[in-house]
Amino acid sequence: MSEPDTHSTIVALSSGAGRAGVAVVRISGPHVRFVLETIAGLVPEPRQAVLRRLRDEAGDVIDSALVLYFPSPASFTGEDVAEFHVHGSRAVLARLLAVLCALPGLRLAEPGEFTRRAFEAGKLDLAAVEGLADLIDSDTEWQRHQALRQMEGALGASVTRWRSGLVESMALLAAEIDFSDEGDVAGPLVEQAVAGVAAVLLELRAALGSFAMGERVREGFVVVLAGPPNAGKSSLMNALARRDVAIVSPIAGTTRDAIEVQLDLAGMPVLLVDTAGLRDSADAIEAEGVRRARTLVARADLVLSLRAIDSEPDRIHHDGHSLAIVTKADLPGPQLPGELPISVISGDGLDALLTAIVARLSAMTQAEPALLTRERHRLAVTQAITALERAVESRHGQAELLAEDIRVAVLALERLLGRIDVEDVLDQLFSGFCIGK
Ligand SMILES: Nc1nc2c(ncn2[C@@H]2O[C@H](COP(=O)(O)OP(=O)(O)OP(=O)(O)O)[C@@H](O)[C@H]2O)c(=O)[nH]1
Ligand SMILES: [K+]
Ligand SMILES: [Mg+2]
């Protein structure tokens, strides 16, 4: 989106497209009061829903609607905003949008344009905009929880606190530079400034530690099914997904490509991956499948390591990275200590397996949702940490150099909230937004 024009009033369907009981059309900009008078015949009291017939220029009724008015500045975008809650029919929406866009000064919004106006009015910082995007995309409880916290400004509040700590240290250094004689050793003000920086550093390192978790919650924990051919990997995949995602057959080497399915396990987003049975194969395609399976096992958050109960129990691995599972427990055979028995035929052991998976993944996480959720956040905080480490480790006593390192860190942190470099991030983010957000 290049140079958005902010003089027009933007119009969009803000609820999902398609037939529905109710659809919400939202407008924002300087012509909102005029639009309300023209099509609803009045400007309602702020934030109070009124039931009105909406009419076109010829006076024909478009639909009856709940109409809401949010005067500037107390609105989502900071501008005058109105909402029309109409019946969610394609014909009603087509007519209403056509009538609105025919009015002078009105046009359809571009994707993310409401949010962009909110950002530009200072209603949301960039991290909060990202939180809003994640909330709209959230599929599971964990994602909703994390996104909501970010949208409500958790990262923004932390950055503001870190920044003010650093600015205070810079002020101490400025005082030191102004008042000390040249050649002096580090005075008490420098000591105090360095202590302030060290305190912020501690918090930045803790936040960085939460990044892996934040990214996992956004993108899903990767859980990989692995084991020899015919161990029952695809059968378990289908049982956990509750549908026929993967082909199951008694022929060893049935699965070749990795097959992925997204699951919501007790609110936790999981990407479950079925893989080719691990064995040495002369078949080039199967061998490639096995190679891919090994790569997936290496980057998984958790490996479900399967063995059929009627197979030779040669080796068993259940390290911190994997759960040992013995399949086909409805058949006779030896069960090894530490193995979780399951049968997709009887359904035995499946609930216990789900509980075990959730427990394993939960153990990787902390109670608080992560502050950093995107690579952009990780980069900015890493840059700030690098600059501050340089400040406290090697610049003792050199007030000017210290102040410069702190300034670099402050700039990196400001990037998180969008005070600088904002256009690139916004363009990328809003291209993923739907119209009306
Ligand atoms: N009795 C019994 N048979 C099972 C069970 N789970 C899977 N099977 C059978 O075992 C055979 C192999 O199952 P798959 O799910 O295709 O095994 P896989 O590990 O995906 O095999 P590849 O993709 O070839 O590596 C099929 O005939 C399944 O019906 C089970 O719990 N009990
Ligand atoms: K098979
Ligand atoms: Mg398979």
Name the band, by pLDDT with cuts 50, 70 and 90, for residue 2: very low
Q: Where are the alpha helices (DSSP H) in 152-248?
A: 154-179, 188-209, 211-219, 233-241
Do 330 and 311 have their domain in common?
yes
Q: Are residues 260 and 333 in the same domain?
A: yes
**Domain endpoint, select from 123, 149, 172:** 123
Tell me the C-alpha distance between 84 and 35, whole Å.
Answer: 11
What's 344's domain CATH number?
3.40.50.300
Give me Rg for the CA atoms of the chain: 29
Q: Which of 3-17, 118-132, 286-300 has the lowest mean pLDDT?
A: 3-17
Report yes or no: 136 and 14 within 8 Å, Cβ to Cβ.
no
For residue 231 and ligand 1, the question of a CB distance below 6 A is answered with yes
pLDDT tens digits, one per residue of 22-56 = 999 999 999 999 999 999 999 999 999 999 999 99
Confidence of residue 105 (pLDDT cuts 50, 70, 90): very high
- Beta strands 259-265 and 302-308 are unpaired
| Closest ligand 1 atom to 237 CA | 15
**Both 22 and 116 in a single domain?**
yes
The residue among 123, 147, 182 that closes a domain is: 123
Question: The domain spanning residue 137 has which CATH number?
Answer: 1.20.120.430
> Residue 6: is its pLDDT beyond 80?
no
Q: How many CB atoms lie under 10 A from the CB of residue 108?
A: 15
| Site of tokens 């995007």 | 133
Three-state DSSP at 315 gives coil
Cβ–Cβ < 8 Å for 258, 273: yes
Residue 183 has pLDDT above 60, yes or no: no
- The pLDDT of residue 136 is above 50: yes
Are 357 and 375 members of one domain? Answer: no
| Location of structure tokens 């078949």 | 283
pLDDT at residue 266 is higher than 80 = yes
Q: How many independent structural domains does the chain possess?
A: 3
Q: How far does the centroid of ligand 3 lie from the alpha carbon of residue 252, in Å?
A: 8
Expressed in angstroms and rounded, the spacing between residue 271 Cα and the centre of ligand 1 is 21
Q: Domain check: are 238 and 355 in the same one?
A: yes
Distance CA 246, CA 139 (A): 23
The pLDDT of residue 182 is above 60: no
Alpha carbon nearest to ligand 1 atom 21, residue = 230
Assess whether 19 and 81 both reside in one domain: yes
CB 235 near ligand 1, within 6 Å = yes
Give the predicted TM-score (pTM) of the model.
Answer: 0.78
Taking alpha carbons only, the member of 230, 223, 285 closest to residue 259 is 223
Are 356 and 378 in a shared domain?
no
AA letter at 133: A
| pLDDT value of residue 1 | 43
Residue 223 alpha carbon to ligand 2 centre in Å: 20
For residues 243 and 354, membership in a common domain is answered with yes
Which domain range does residue 251 map to? 225-363
Q: Are residues 347 and 232 in the same domain?
A: yes
Count of C-beta atoms within a 10 Å radius of residue 339: 21
Q: Based on the domain organization, do 167 and 58 belong to the same domain?
A: no
Percent above pLDDT 70 for the chain: 90
Q: What is the mean pLDDT of the chain?
A: 90
Same domain (yes/no): 180, 252: no
Q: Is the CB of 296 under 6 A from ligand 1?
A: no
Residue identified by tokens 């499948």 is 289
Which of 52-56, 136-140, 204-208, 212-216 is predicted least confidently?
212-216
Give a yes or no: residue 247 inside a domain.
yes
Q: How far apart are CA 164 and CA 388, in angstroms?
A: 14
The whole-angstrom distance between residue 9's C-alpha and the CA centroid of its chain comes to 30
Domain shared by 324 and 241, yes or no: yes
pLDDT in tens, 56-101: 999 999 999 999 999 999 999 999 999 999 999 999 999 999 999 9
Is there a contact between 225 and 273 (Cβ–Cβ < 8 Å)?
Answer: yes
